[in-house]
Amino acid sequence: MKRELFLSLIILIILSSLSCSFVSQEELFSNRPQQKADITLNNSHYLFSQNDSEALLIEAEKIELYNTAKKAYITNGTFSQHDEDGTLLFSGSFGFAIADTNTNDLILSNHLLIINHKDKFSIEAEEIAWTDELQYLQSSEQSIVTVINKEHDIMRGRGFFGNFKTATFEFQTMNQGVMHYE
């Protein structure tokens, strides 16, 4: 399930390549590939569907598509994914996103929230990057990421790395950790 969220989110939100040197948010989102987008969608709803997963609905204040650069810049977005029975699987929000429309790699920033409703799992971050081919979610060494599992296990730290193929999560530096065993 977690993989489906990120696959759909990646393809849906379409963010920038992860040859990742983290730069400031202002630099990242002001350096557009060209002065004017090929297509700009305001207050738009986008329903993305793949053959192997349920449709992902993205609602955004603005989506700017740059065809030659294979980039999409998305401002103030929310997303949700339901199964075929209508059960909510994933939801979330972000302030800014850049998607590489060729590789489906993403950079998400400005209050990112991803919620897995089925497994009661969430990730919150100020900035994080997704590498689609390797199924990695990674933050910079300075960025704080919070992982909450079943509303009571809380891990917060810097330098987050998540491998979604193996379902392992690591922090370079832990700021807080609370785990409950049943």
Q: What is the predicted pLDDT for the residue at 181? A: 65
Q: Is the pTM of this model over 0.75?
A: no
Residue carrying the six token digits 């989110």:
9
Cα-only R_g, the chain: 16
pLDDT in tens, 60-112: 999 999 999 999 899 999 988 888 888 998 899 999 989 888 887 889 899 99
Q: Does domain 2-136 have CATH number 2.60.450?
A: yes
Identify the pLDDT of residue 29.
Answer: 54
Domain boundaries, the chain: 2-136
Measured CA to CA, the distance from residue 12 to residue 114 in angstroms comes to 14
pLDDT (0 to 100) of residue 9:
40
Which of 11-15, 47-51, 131-135, 150-154 bottoms out in mean pLDDT, i.e. has the lowest? 11-15
